[in-house]
Every structure is written in C-alpha cells, then in structure tokens.
Structure 1
Amino acid sequence: MPRPIQLNIQGFYKTPVSKVLMPIIAIPSLILNFTPTLRPFFLYSLEDLTNPYKVWRVLSCKLVFHHTTDLVCGLILIYYFRIFERRAGSRKFCSYIQSMFILCTLLEIFCLVVMQHGFEKLTWKPGFHSVLMSFFVKFYMDVPRTNAASICGIPFSSKSITYFMGLQIVFLEPMNAIFSVCGILMGILYRLNFINLQNWFNIPESVADFVSRTIGAIVRTKPPQRLLQPMGATREIQRQQRMELLEQEMLLTQAQGFLNRQHSIRRRHNARQDQIQTGIHMNRDNGAPQQPPAEDKIVQLIEMGFSRSDVLQALSVVNNDVTMATNLLLQE
C-alpha cells in the first residue's frame, strides 16, 4: 500500500516575522543569562522614565527573557504561534505584535506607577511576557481542540501542552503574573476592537512592501516540498505532525467559511431575482395597469434605510403592498 503524500510545512515557510523575532529575543536573552552584570540595562524604575539617558531601557527590557526556563518555553511558544502569521499574513501579524508591544508597555507603566506607592524603589523587568501571553487569547478562540482525552477526570487535548508552557512562564516569578495579566487583558481588548484598537498601530502597506522586498528577500524560506512521509515513530514526531495538520485544518476551515458565505449571498440574490421575475409575470397576466405607489409608502420604506430605486422596484413587484415589499427588501 503506497504511503500518503503529505505537505511538509515544518519550519518558517510564509512566517518571516516569526523567523526574525526568535533570534531577536533569543540572542540578547542568552547574553543576559550568561552575563549577569548586564541585568541593570534590562530593567527600569519610575525614575528611569524621566531620565533621557535611561528611558531606552523600556525598550530593551521588552526584548528578553530573564530566566533560562522562560527563554526555552517562550521560544517554543513563539514557534507554535507562527500559525497565526500563516493565517493572517506577515503584515497583520507584525501589526499585532507592534500594537501589543506598545499597549502592554503603557499598561505596565501604569501598574508600576500604582504599585510604586507601596515600595521605596520598585524595579520593573517585564520582558516579552505580556506580548507573548496576548497570543493565548487568539490561541483559545481560534485554534480548535483535537484529540481530547480525560486523565483522572481532567480533560486533555492537543492544546494542553501549550497551556502548560504558558503557566510555567506565568508562575516562575510573582511579577510574571502581573505582566501576563496585562498581556491577556490587552489581547482581549484588541480582539473586541475596544475604541477601535485594531486600527491604531497598523503597519502601512508601503512600509510592508519595502521591507518585504529588502529584508524579506533575505529571510524568506523556500516553499515546502511534497514528501512521502510515514507516520512518526516517536511521540515527539507524532506531536509535531499533529501541530502541522492542525495548521492545515485552520486554513481549510477559514477557506470553507468564506466559500459558504459567498454561496449564501449568491443564493439569496438568486431567490430575490426569482421573486422579482415572478411578480412581473403575475402583473402581466392580470392585465391591469400598475398603479404608481403612494409617496408616503415610498418615504416609509426609505426611512428604514433602503434606497429609493430598490423601494420602487419592490413596490412594483408586490402591487404596492408595504409589508410584502419590506420582506422582499430584507431578503437582499
């Protein structure tokens, strides 16, 4: 029996932002973990925000993980969350990271100001935690559960290991929980488009095109090849294959939903056209001259939000019956 052909989409195909983001986070984090004397440059206090020579620490501290455990789990999560870049595109994915970077930083500074009253000098080292945790909102809402099972009454699925790694980061230090809550809260507000947040920090298309032609040409990954790939013989290989199949399932679900919406719109349009044609034939068969609709009926339907041309056409089909004309217009 021939082995099934599978599309090998492991790696960073169509995810250049994730490919660049991982070394940007990993390199300074490794330097920081092996050189403890540099730690003061990756944290800040309230006084540093007003010091023009130290305010840059607000940026530097967001690009690292302060512990090796955080670094390992964080890089794995960034690699997993690259599925959102494949789904939304690199420009939208980068715009989301930029938005979370700015919004989470502002919220973290607000928390620092509030908590400063209970401490003499409180230092803040948020790291990349809040931005990373904001992705769990997308992960929870958009990624379906597969291969669900129950162990001692506790449900487990293919998403459980990702949640476990997130909890490992959250509870490693008490402050990590504060930064994680900031990220999750901003992720929820962004998804709800609170005060139009989704349009605040979008990257312009001209900038995205320029970066794609310059830096993108260097970091772009070659298209995957179709491989004769048997089922993995180890748990790690099987888990990786399930993640890749999950990405394909998400893309197929998104495409199917788009096709269903288009089919529904087309079907309603055809039904309305059939009703119009039927009404025209009925009027012709009756042989009676069509009376022009009263102006008050036209105004009544226009005030409901319909255009005058559509109102006149609908009234002519249903012999100036306002109720039937309303039903006909609502079907469009």
Structure 2
Amino acid sequence: MNGGPSGFNNAPVTRIIVIASALFTVVFGIQGRSRNLPWSYQDIFKKLQIWKLIVTVFGFSSTPELVFGIYLLYYFRVFERQIGSNKYTVFILFSVITSLLLEVLAQWLLKDPSLNILTSGPYGLIFASFVPFFFDIPVSTRFRVFRFNFSDKTFIYLAGLQLFLSSWRRSMLPGICGILAGSLYRLNVFRVRRVKFPEVIASFFSRLSWPSTGTTSPTRSSRNVLGSAPTYASRRAEANAPALLSTLLEPPEESIGTLVSMGFDRNSARQALIHARNDINAATNILLESQGH
C-alpha cells in the first residue's frame, strides 16, 4: 500500500510539511539541542517560548520518530490528493491547533509529573490522519501469516503504533489528542469541513513547492496564413477533432491508479477524469459529489 503514485504530485502541502519536519529535526539534532525539543505548557504560557511551539510542531525528538513520522506523513499525502490542497491545509491547521489545545488542557488537568514534558513532532496531524484512514481508505489486499489475518493497511497501523509508543506516555498523550482532533474534524464541528482559504492564500503553498513533473504545456493552435478560407487540411483536421480530443483526454494510468487507491471504482475514476480533463483534484470532487447523492 503506497497511497497512490510515488512522489509529491498533487501534494505540495505535504511536501512542505515533510521537508520542514526533516529540517527542524536534523538542525536541532546536529546542534545537540534535540533534548530541548520536548515541551510543556509552562514553556509557552509562562516562559513565552513561542519559538519552541513552532519547532515542536515540526521537529521530532529522535531519529526513529523521524523515520516513522516521515513515512506516515508521506503516505497520508493521499488525503491531500483526495480533498485538494486547499481543504487539506484547513485539515492540517485544525488538527495541529486542536491537538495542541487538548494537550495543554490534559497537562493542566492531570498534573501528572510524568506528563509535564511531552515529545515533539507533528503528532496531531499524523494521528488525526488515522481517522479518515480508518474510515475512508478501503483494504485492497488481504493475506495470512501464521494463521493471523493481515491487510495492506496493517503496515500503516504498525508504523503508527511504533510512533505512538516511541516515548511511552509522553508520546501517547499527543497521539490520543491527535485522534480526538481528527474525530472532531470528521464530525464537522463548527462546519470546519466546509472552510476553504481564498485562492491567493491557498496558492502560496504551491509557489513554495517545486513544480510537479510530468505536466505538458498546451499546444498552440495553428493559423491559416493564406486567409480566412479553410484549407482541405484544416477541414480534415476539424472533422477528426472529436476523435483526437478523445485520445488526448484519455486519462493516464497513474491518475486512474491514484483515484483507485482512494477507494473509487476504476471505471468511475476514468469517467470522472475525462469529464475533469485529467484534473485529478476536479475528478476527485466529481466522485465525492456523486457518492453524496
């Protein structure tokens, strides 16, 4: 199970999150400051260490956490492809902010010395993503090992469990708060699932990201240099235009595979891509709207 085609095509926001997490973790690890990454609400509200809040949202406390965290963030790019970068940005902000508030509230209520310091990293986003992963991503293959039943989703759950238990209670609390944040988003609290950023703000992440490969520029239409009267070649081209257009709009297997990995029927995915002129985000919206009716 790979979450669709490899790379960050149609997932520029995920690319930024992955790069930021890797950079923050490596920079603080090289400087020997990774031990200072775990945080508490006293750091934010009493010491006003805002920098620490920003760093803890992205930077992991250890290399094993970074490995499993980056793997999960990379896999969950399937949700950005499914709902689009605009709404996925809303999902990220809602998950991170809500999980942080829940963590601070839990620290304040429990007053447990072992929970005074929590591990850092995008736990809120990662474990909030497990909610739509559980409900919306279907199982594509099943297999048995020593009489135990497994599926292709099992490896994602195992990676999440490893991250969840990486620092015991210090990582379990952020994980639980992330799951609660994802559940609140799924329940559409405050109608958050309808929120969208203005296109100017949403395109900011696309400008930060590297351009996707595999895109082709539209061909320029040829002019009749002899005048306005159509030539025989131009009349023949116009007659063959519908067949040519159908050939050009035939969806690539990579795009169909992306939609199939999201749980859509192959034929429906192909038809949606044709109607959307091979725009995978528009095709996803068409499929989601058809399921809602």
TM normalised by structure 1 equals 0.62
What are the superposed Cα offsets for residues 36-69 of structure 1, whole Å, 9 maximum, x if unpaired?
33532x2333332334641332222111111111
Give 1:85 shift: 1.2
Post-superposition CA distance 1:121-173 (Å, at most 9, x none): 92233421222111111111111102212223322111111111111111121
Q: C-alpha separation between the residues in 2 aligned to 1:263 and 1:210?
A: 31
CA RMSD in angstroms, aligned pairs only: 3.3
Alignment partners' CA distance in 2, 1:220 and 1:137: 30
Deviation at 1:262, TM superposition (A): 5.9
SS of residue paired to 1:220: coil
Partner SS state of residue 50, structure 2: coil
Specify whether residues 224 and 114 from structure 1 end up closer, same or farther in structure 2 by C-alpha distance, changes over 3 A only.
same
- Asked if the contact 2:5–2:258 (Cα under 8 Å) also holds between the matched residues in 1, the reply is no
Name the amino acid aligned to 2:260. Answer: Q
**Equivalences for residues 101-112 of structure 1 within 5 A:** 101-112=96-107
Is residue 215 of structure 1 aligned with residue 217 of structure 2?
no
User: Displacement, 1:96?
Assistant: 0.7
Distance 2:288 2:159 in 1: 36
Map Cα deviations across residues 93-113 of structure 1 (whole Å, 9 max, x no partner): 111111111111111111111
> One-letter code of the match for 1:154?
F
Does the CA contact (< 8 Å) of 2:21 and 2:121 recur in 1?
A: no
Q: Which amino acid aligns with 1:250?
A: M
Q: For 2:85, which of 79, 90, 104 is the aligned residue?
A: 90
Cα distance change, pair 247–36 in 1 and its aligned pair in 2 (3 A): farther
Sequence identity, in percent?
A: 26
What's the secondary structure of 2:129's corresponding residue? helix
44, 51, 73: which is aligned to 1:56? 51
After superposition, the C-alpha distances for 1:240-262 in whole angstroms (9 at most, x for unaligned) are xxxx9465342643747957976
1:188 is matched with which residue?
A: 183
Kindly indicate whether residue 28 of structure 2 is the aligned counterpart of residue 21 of structure 1.
Answer: no
Closer, same or farther: CA 148–263 of 1 in aligned 2, 3 Å: closer
In the TM superposition, 1:181-330 aligns within 5 A as 181-199=176-194, 202-212=196-206, 214-216=207-209, 219-223=210-214, 245=257, 247-250=259-262, 252-253=264-265, 255=269
Closer/same/farther in 2, CA of residues 215 and 146 from structure 1, 3 Å limit: same
Whole-angstrom distance in 2 between the partners of 1:157 and 1:182: 26
| Equivalent residue pairs, number | 236
What residue in structure 2 maps to residue 169 of structure 1? 163
Q: Quick check: 1:11 aligned with 2:4?
A: no
- What's the counterpart of residue 100 of structure 1? 95
Deviations 1:245-291 (A, max 9, x none): 465342643747957976998xxxxxxxxxxxxxxxxxxxxxxxxxx
Distance 1:260 1:173 in 2: 38
Q: 1:199 to 1:60 in 2, by over 3 A?
A: farther
Q: Is contact 2:131-2:179 (8 Å) kept?
A: yes
Letter in 1 for 2:38: L
Paired residues of 1:44 and 1:57 also in contact (CA < 8 A): yes
Q: Deviations along 1:3-61, whole A, 9 cap, x unmatched?
A: xxxxx932111111112211100011122333333532x23333323346413322221
Tell me what 2:139 maps to.
145
CA–CA separation in structure 1 for the residues paired with 2:14 and 2:287? 29
Cα distance in 2 between the residues matched to 1:20 and 1:121: 30
| 8 Å Cα contact 2:107/2:115 also seen in 1 | no
Quick check: 1:29–1:66 contact (8 Å CA) kept in 2? Answer: yes
Q: What secondary structure, in the 3-state scheme, does the structure 1 residue paired with 2:98 have?
A: helix
Tell me what 2:76 maps to.
Answer: 81
Q: Distance in 1 between matches of 2:79 and 2:134?
A: 12
Gaps of 5+ in 1: 1-7, 226-243, 266-332
Larger RCO: 1 or 2 (CA < 8 Å, sep 6+): 2
